[in-house]
Amino acid sequence: MERRLFSPDNRIFFHYWFFPAPTRNDRGEILPAPFEAIEKRDELKENWQRENGHPQQIRFVSLSPFIVDGQTGYMVKAETFILGAENN
- pLDDT digit string, tens, across residues 50-85: 887 777 788 889 999 999 999 999 999 988 877 665
* Structural domain for 51, as ranges: 2-87
Integer Cα distance of 26 and 28 in angstroms: 5
Domain count, the chain: 1
pTM as predicted: 0.76
pLDDT tens, position by position, 29-53: 999 999 999 999 999 999 988 887 7
Integer Cα distance of 85 and 66 in angstroms: 33
